[in-house]
Structure 1
Amino acid sequence: MIRQRLGKDLLFFDGGMGTLLQEKGLAPGELPETWNLTHSEEIYKIHRQYIEAGSDIILTNTFGANALKFHDDSCSLEEIIKAAVSHVKKAEREALLQTGDERKIYTALDVGPTGKLLKPMGDLEFETAYEAFKEVVILGEQAGADLIHIETMSDTYELKAAVLAAKENTSLPVFATVIFDERKKLLTGADVSSVVALLEGLGVDALGINCAMGPKEMLPVLEELIKYSSVPIIVKPNAGLPKQRDGKTYYDVTEDEFAAYMEQIVRMGACVIGGCCGTTPEHIRAMRKRCENAELVPVTEKEFTVVSSYGQSVILGEGSKIIGERINPTGKKRFKQALKEHDLDYILREGITQQDQGAHILDVNVGLPDIDEPALMEEVVQELQSVVNIPLQIDTVDEKAMEKALRIYNGKAMVNSVSGKKESMEKVFPLVKKYGGVVIGLTLDEDGIPADADGRVRIAEKIIKTAEKFGIKKKDIVIDALAMTISSEPEGAKVTLETLRRLRDEIGVNTVLGVSNISFGLPCRPIVNAAFYTMAMLNGLSAGIINPSSEDMMKSWYSYHALMNLDNNCEQYIQKYANSVVSTNIMKTSELSETKLKGENDRSRKSSSKMTLQEAIEKGLRDDAGKITTDMIATEAPLDIINEELIPALNHVGDGFEKGTVFLPQLLMSAEAAKSAFSVLKEKMEKSGEIREKKGRVILATVKGDIHDIGKNIVKVLLENYSFDVIDLGKDVSPEKIVETACEKQVPLVGLSALMTTTVVSMEETIKMLREKKPDCKVMVGGAVLNQEYADMIGADFYGKDAMQSVHYAEKIFKDALQKSADKKE
C-alpha cells in the first residue's frame, strides 16, 4: 500500500498530459478524456513513457471527467474512467515486463475541478458538486485505481466536496493539491495554513501544490506548507512559463533546470514530486536521476491548533483570541425575535459588527424551542461565511445541527462542545473526526462540575484520552475550565484560574472560557468581567468568549497583549487608542460602564435603516442594500445614488481586492449587494422614463474547447455592476461565433478566457480572426495558463491578471473612445 511508503520513500509522479496530446494531434475543442476510447494506443504510450522515465505514480487521463464538466453523447463517464484506468494498468504490465523492473506502479485516479464556482460565489450547490465527485471516485475504485488524486483546485469549498466524496465512498488513499498564486493565496483567498488545516482535518494522506507556477516560484509556498503540514507534501510544478517559438508553445524551464529545482524541493521537505503543465517524460527522467538518492526530510507532527474559514486561519496559543459571543439567543430578546422571524439580516449584521470590533472567531448558536435548529443552523452558517472571513464556532447540543453545520462549513471549524460524559463523547467525536475541527471539551461529566481544579483537570485528561481513541489529536482539543459565578460560588474564580494554569503547564492544552459567566448576579458586571478576563489571560487562557462591543473587555485585551509583549511594539494598542481620551474620574467611569455596554450593544445591533448603502454594499449585505435603496429613492434621484453611493462602494471594494485586503468571496458578495440595489433603481428609472446610460458593449467568451467559465463569470458580474452591457457567449465558443457577434453588434471590446493549455491555441486563432475581420476591436485575455508574455505572443491587447484589472481596462477603452469621438466633433 502506498500509505506505508509515504514519508519513507521518495515517490515520483508523472508529468503533463495536455501538451503531449496536442503534439499527437488533439484538436482544439476536442475533449482529452475521449481519447481514452478513440486513441487508446496513444494514451497507453504516454503512460508507458512516463513509467520508463521513472514515474511511480501515473495519473489517469480523467482530469475533466465529471458530470458537471464532461459532456459527450458518444460515451459515458463509466466507459471513460474504466478505459483510463485500464491504459495505466496495461502500461505498467508491459513496461515492467520488458525491463524486468520490480517497482510498484500506482494508478492514480485524476480528479480535477468542476469548472464552476460554488454558492454563494457561484450557483453550484455544495451537494451537487459532492455528487459529481462521488460518481467519479466510485467508478475509479471499481475500475481498479490505487489512489485518488484531487488536483488543480482553487476553491477550498469545492476541494472539501471532492475530499468528502472520496473519503465517504471509497477506501482509497486520497491526495490533494491546489493552485496558489504569487501571494500564496488560492483564487478564493485561502492562505497556506487554512488549506493545510482543512485538508488535515478531513484526513487526506498527502497534500500540496501543483500547476500555475514553475518550480522556482513554488519555493516560498513550499516553505509555508512545510511549516504547517503534519502529512507528506506533494509538489508538481509546471515547466516554467509558456512561450512560443516558430508558432509552437514551449515552456522555458529545461529538463536539467527542472531536475535541479526538484532536488532543492526534496531537500526542503517534499516527499512526493512530479510535474504539471509543460513537463514531459524527459523532465521526469532528469528529475528521477537527480533526486532518487536525495535524503528525505522526516515528516513531523506540527503542534499548531488551527481553525480556519475560507480564507483565514487562526492559530490558538499565540496570544489570547477573541470569540464573539453575540450570535446566541441566551438572554437576548431581539436575537430570539430574529430567529423566530427568520431575520437573517439581523444575524449577519451581528457577525459583521463583531468582526469589525476585533473578534477572531464567531460563536454561532441558533437553538430555540420550536425552531428547526438543524435547518436554521445550516442556513445561518452558509450565509455568515459569505459575509465574514473569520472562522466560525459551531455552538449546539443538537447532533443533527452539528453535522449539518460541519458539512456545509467552508473551513475547519471550532465545535462547541463535548463534555466528559460518555454519551456526549460518543456523539461528538465521530463528527469532529469526519469533518475536521477543533473541539471544546467542557470540564464536566456524569457527576457534574467538580468544585476543585483537580477534578476538572481529571475530566480534561479523560476527554483528551478518549478523543485519541477516535483519532483526534490533543492539538485539536481546547478545554473549557468553566467560569462559575462568584455571587453564588465565592471560590469560583480562583478554581477556574488554577484550572487554566494547570491545563497550560501540566497538560499543555489550549483553553477557552465564557468569561462573562463569572459576574452573573452582580452590579457593574463589565468591571468584574474585565478584571477576570485579564487574570484569565495571565493564567493561560487561549481564547475568551466575550462581547467585542464591550469597551472594558477590549481595553483588557489590548493592554494585556501590550504588557506581555504579545503586541509587537504595541502597534495594535497604539492603533486602537492613539486618539482616545481616558477619563481620570475612575468612579464616574465605573458607574458608566454598564450604560456604555448597553449603548455599545445597541450599536452592534445597528438596523438596516441606520446603515448606509455604501456600507451595505461593502459588507455584501444583499437584502439590506435593497431595503436601503428603496428608502433612498423616496428622496434622492436614482442616478445620484448610483454615482455617489454604488460606484464609490464598488471602487472601494475593488481597490481592496487589488491590494490583497479583500478576497474574491467578499468582492462577489459586494457585487451581489450592488445588483440588489441596482434592481430597485432600475425599476424606479423605468417607471419614470429615466435611462441609465451604458458605458458600452463587451463580449465575453470561454474559447473553443474550454469548458471552464469561472473567470469569465466573475468578470461578467463586475462589468455589469460598472454599467457595461455584457454579451456573454458562454463557454466552448468557436472563433467564428465570437467574430460574427463582434461584427454584427459592432462591439469594440472582446474578453477571452482559457484555463487549459490545450485551448490557448483556440484563443490565438480567435484573436487572429478578429484582427482580420474587425481590426478596430480590442481583445483582453485571462486565465490560469496565461501571463503577460504569453498574452503578448498570441496578439492580445491586454492581459487581465484578475477581474478588477479587466474592469479598469474596459473603462479605459471606452473612455478613450469617447475622447476620440469628442475630438472629432471639435
Structure 2
Amino acid sequence: MNHPFLNIINEKVVIFDGAMGTQLIKRGLKPGECPELWNIEKPDIIETIHKSYIEAGAEVIETNTFGANRIKLSHFGLSDKVGEINFKAVQIAKKAAGGKAFVALSVGPTGVLVEPYGPLSVESAVEVFKDQISSALEAKPDMILIETMSQLSEARAAVIAAKEICDLPVIATMTFEESGKTLMGTDPATALFVLSSAGADVVGINCSLGPDKIAFPLQEMSKYKCIPILVQPNAGMPVLSEGETVYPLSPEEFAKSCLKLSSIGLNAIGGCCGTTPEHIKFLKHSFLKIEPLKVMPFLNTVICSDKKTIILTGKDPVKIIGERINPTGKKALSEELKSGKLSGVIREAALQKNAGADILDVNLGVPEIDETSLMKKVIPALQEAVNIPLAIDSSNPNTLEAGLRVYTGKALVNSVNGSKESLEKVLPIVKKYGAVVIGLTMDESGIPKTAGERLRIARKIIKAAENYGIPKQNVIIDCLCLTAGTQQEQALETINAIKLIKEELGCLTALGVSNISYGLPRRNLLNRAFLSMALSAGLDLPIINPLDNDLLEIIKASDVLTGRDRNASLFITFAKATKDRDSEKQFFLENIIPESSPEKKLYEAIINGNDEEVEDPIEKLLLNYSEPYNIINQIIIPALKEVGEKYEKGDYFIPELLLSAEAAKKAFEIIKRKFPSGEEKKARIILATVKGDIHDLGKNIVKAIMENYGFDVIDLGVDVDAEIILNEAEKYSDLKLIGLSALMTTSIPSMETTIKLIKNKIPNCKVIVGGAILNKDIAEKIGADFYAKDALEGVRIAEKVYEKN
C-alpha cells in the first residue's frame, strides 16, 4: 500500500499523541459518564485536547472513539448514536489537525469475550467493528487504529472488518500483562504474525505496562523486523497518592524510559494512560534523531494458533501434521459429526497433541452433511481444546474460507493444486486471510508419473501464488504418493520429486505418508520405511498418525542424523520422556486409575476441558461409588488441582481454566441430580463493578470460574452504586465475601467508598478486589481485605474465607 503515513513510518520514528481519557477527566468528565458523547455535547473541549497534543509534537492524533462501538455504547443507552459519534469525532480531529497531523480512528474492544472463548461470534464482532468504522469513513480519517485488545480473536476480527470496507492503513495493538502475554495467553510474536497476516499494516503494544515493562513484548516483536511497530506505554504503573490513583512517571522520566526502547527497535511511539501533552513534548524531543526499525521481508514460513507460533526454516526439526481428524473410514467419528457432537473430534485433537503433533489437519468430509457449517463449528471448538496450529483441509473453497474466517491464527490450508480452477478459487482466499497453503503436485491431468513433471506443477503453483501476492514462503509443496500396491515404481518417483523440489525451488515439503501402504499387509512396516526415505530426501512436514510411536521415533532419530536436531538435544529429551513412565502423576493415572477406567476418563475430561466427555464416565462411577462425594474428592478435586498448577506454571491460561472448570461444573451437576438430598450448601459471593465503571470482562471471567468451582455467585453488573451492593449483601446472613471490580483509575474512589460502607455496616464480611489498575498496595490503602491478581487466585481466597477444603 502506498500511503503517506506508511512511507513516513519507515523513514523516521513517528510520534503519536497521549491519553485522551486523562485529559477528559482533567476537564470534568465524571465517573460513569460516556467519554464519546462529548464529541456531540462538548466538541470544543475535544478539539482543544487534540490541538494541545499537536502543539506538543504529535504527528498522529487519535479520535475520541475508543468505546464508540454499539456494544459499549449500549451501556449508556447510546447504541443508536454510533454513526453520529464516530463521524463527529473524526470531523473534530480533522479540524484540529488542519493538515498538520494524521488522524487515526480509535477502535477499542467490545468488552465481550469473542469465540472460541466467549459468546460473541467472530462474524458478529466483524459486523460491530464494520458498523463503527464505516460510520467514520465519510469524515475521512487517515488510518484505523485498533487498540488495547486483550483477545487476539477480537483484534483479528477488527482488522478483517477494516480491510473489508476501506483501503486505509490499519494499525493493531495488543495489551500485554507483566507475564509477557495477553489476558488470554497470546505471546507477542504470535500477535505480530497473526495480525499482520490478517492485513494489519502496523502492529504494536499499548496500555497496561510502563516503558520498562513494555520492553519485553517489544523485543519479542521487533526481533522479526517484518512490520512497523507502534508502542504506547502508560506513564508507569498506577499508585494511590492522597486518595487518588496516579501514574507516577513525570514527562521527563517517561521520555527517558521510552528512549531506552529505541535500542530494541520501533517505528512509532506515543503514550497511553496517564500521559499528557507535556509527556508527548518531551517524547518528541527525545526521538528527534532516533532511527526507526528497518523493516524487511521475513522469509521463513510461519504457522500460528492463537497461542503458539511455528517458524519453519527447512533446517529446523521436522514438524508433524496429525492426520486423525478425518471421518473417512471412521464410522463412529462420522456418526458423531452427523449428530452434531464434537467430543470425538476434540478427543482426537487432544490425543494427537499429547502424542507430539505440531499441527492438526482438520478434514470434515462427511457424506450427507453441510461441511461448511460444520467447519465453522469445529474450528472454534478445537481452538478451545488445543493450543497448536490447525490445517484446514477441504476441496471446497467455501469450506476453506469458513474455517479461515473463524480461525484465530495463521492457518495452514490443505490444499490447492495446479489446475486452473483450483488456483483461481483457492489462492484468493489464501491471500485474503494471510494463510500458508499446501500445493499438491497434480493438475487437470491427475498426478504426474515423473518427478520432473511434479516439479513443473510446483513451479506453476508458486508462480500463480506470487501473482496473487502470496510470497513463496507461504507455499508448501506436497509431492503426493500413491499406494505401492498398484504403482510400485511411483514410490521412488515421489522421493525423487522431494529431492528435486528442495534443490530447485528451496520450498518446504509436506507428504501424506500412509497412502504408500494402502491395500498391503504390514502397513506400519511400509510406512516406517517410506517415511525414513522421505526424511532423508528432505521432507519437512510428514502428515502421519502421531499415535504411532514407531513413526515418531524415526522422525526424532532422523532429525539427529540429518543435523536438524543440533547436539541431539530434542532427541535426548524425547528418549528420556518415553523412558520415564514412573513419575508421580503418571503412576497415579496408569496404576491407581487404570487406562480405560471411567475414573481416568473423567479425570482427563476435566484436564482437557471436554465437557462432552464427562457424562458417560460419571454415570458409570455413580453405579460403583456408594458415597458420591468420593468422586468429587478423589477425581474431580485432584483434576482441578492439576489444572490450577498448569495455570500457575503458565501452561494453561484463562481459556483453558474456563473450559476445565465448565467440565467440572457439569460433573457436579450430574452428581447433584442423582443425589439431591446430599447436595452441599453453596458458599455465596456477591460480585459487582463499582459505580462509574462499565467494564465487566474480567468480572465475568471471575464469575464463570467461581461458579464452576461451586460458589453461588450473585452478579450485580456494572456501574453499581455502593448502597445497592450493601442492600443486596444485607439480605444474606451467611455472606462472608464481596468481590469488587474496577478498570478505570477514576473508579478507585468509588471502590474505596463502597468498601468503607460495607465495613461500617457489615464488618464481618470480607472484601476482595481486582482489576487491571489495581495492585496489592492500592488494595490495602483503600481498605480491601484481599487483592486477587487473577480469577484463580480469587477462587483460592474465597475457599479460604469459607474454609473450603
- TM-score interval, smaller chain: over 0.9
1:643: how far off?
Answer: 2.1
Matched, 1:641 2:631: yes
1:505: how far off?
Answer: 3.3
Name the counterpart of 2:186.
190
CA distance in 1, matches of 2:284, 2:695: 33
1:608: how far off?
Answer: 9.6
**3-state SS, counterpart of residue 73 of structure 2:** coil
Matches within 5 A, 1:350-749: 350-563=348-561, 564=563, 565-566=565-566, 567-568=568-569, 570-579=571-580, 612-636=601-625, 637-686=627-676, 689-694=677-682, 696-746=683-733, 747-749=735-737
Name the counterpart of 1:285.
281
Name the counterpart of 2:784.
796
What do the CA deviations read for 1:590-647 (whole angstroms, capped 9, x no partner)? xxxxxxxxxxxxxxxx999685212111111112212322332233233222222222
Matched, 1:69 2:72: yes
CA distance in 1, matches of 2:245, 2:580: 58
CA distance in 1, matches of 2:456, 2:9: 37
Contact 2:244 2:748 in 1 (8 A): no
What do the CA deviations read for 1:62-103 (whole angstroms, capped 9, x no partner)? 11111111123467122211221122122212xxxxxxxxx7
Of 156, 171, 174, the match for 1:175: 171
Matched letter for residue 482 of structure 1: L
CA distance in 2, matches of 1:9, 1:171: 23
Matched, 1:330 2:331: no
1:705: how far off?
Answer: 2.5
Moved more, 711-720 or 800-809: 711-720
Of 289, 298, 301, the match for 2:297: 301
Moved more, 719-728 or 405-414: 719-728
Name the counterpart of 2:740.
752
The total of aligned residue pairs comes to 781
CA distance in 2, matches of 1:772, 1:42: 40
Matched letter for residue 143 of structure 1: A
Q: CA RMSD in A?
A: 2.1
**3-state SS, counterpart of residue 633 of structure 1:** helix
Name the counterpart of 1:587.
none
Name the counterpart of 1:808.
796
CA distance in 2, matches of 1:810, 1:104: 54
1:242: how far off?
Answer: 0.8
Matched, 1:56 2:54: no
Moved more, 39-48 or 53-62: 39-48
Contact 1:141 1:172 in 2 (8 A): no
1:123: how far off?
Answer: 2.0
1:573: how far off?
Answer: 2.2
Name the counterpart of 2:585.
none
Contact 1:558 1:572 in 2 (8 A): no
**3-state SS, counterpart of residue 325 of structure 1:** strand
Name the counterpart of 2:589.
none
CA distance in 2, matches of 1:229, 1:407: 26
Matched, 1:12 2:1: no
**3-state SS, counterpart of residue 69 of structure 1:** helix
Normalising by structure 1, report the TM-score. 0.91
CA distance in 2, matches of 1:625, 1:302: 45
1:139: how far off?
Answer: 0.7
Moved more, 607-616 or 22-31: 607-616
For residues 761 and 517 of structure 1, do their structure 2 counterparts lie closer, same or farther at Cα, with a shift above 3 Å needed? same
Moved more, 538-547 or 488-497: 488-497
CA distance in 2, matches of 1:737, 1:468: 62
CA distance in 1, matches of 2:784, 2:499: 63
Name the counterpart of 1:23.
26
Name the counterpart of 2:755.
767
CA distance in 1, matches of 2:624, 2:521: 46
What do the CA deviations read for 1:530-564 (whole angstroms, capped 9, x no partner)? 12222322322121100011121111122223443
What do the CA deviations read for 1:151-203 (whole angstroms, capped 9, x no partner)? 11111111121111111122221100001122221111112222122112111
What do the CA deviations read for 1:134-155 (whole angstroms, capped 9, x no partner)? 1101012123221111111111
For residues 753 and 495 of structure 1, do their structure 2 counterparts lie closer, same or farther at Cα, with a shift above 3 Å needed? same
**3-state SS, counterpart of residue 815 of structure 1:** coil
For residues 558 and 248 of structure 1, do their structure 2 counterparts lie closer, same or farther at Cα, with a shift above 3 Å needed? same
Name the counterpart of 2:141.
145
**3-state SS, counterpart of residue 228 of structure 1:** coil
**3-state SS, counterpart of residue 68 of structure 1:** helix
1:579: how far off?
Answer: 4.3
Gaps of 5+ in 2: 583-594
Matched, 1:217 2:204: no
Name the counterpart of 2:94.
89
CA distance in 1, matches of 2:791, 2:343: 28
CA distance in 2, matches of 1:19, 1:30: 14
CA distance in 2, matches of 1:340, 1:122: 24
CA distance in 1, matches of 2:558, 2:384: 32
Contact 1:608 1:627 in 2 (8 A): no
Moved more, 311-320 or 616-625: 311-320
Normalising by structure 2, report the TM-score. 0.93
1:693: how far off?
Answer: 2.8
Aligned identity (percent) is 47
Contact 2:225 2:293 in 1 (8 A): no
CA distance in 1, matches of 2:302, 2:792: 32
1:45: how far off?
Answer: 1.3
For residues 407 and 344 of structure 1, do their structure 2 counterparts lie closer, same or farther at Cα, with a shift above 3 Å needed? same
CA distance in 1, matches of 2:121, 2:790: 24
CA distance in 2, matches of 1:684, 1:433: 53
Moved more, 363-372 or 207-216: 363-372
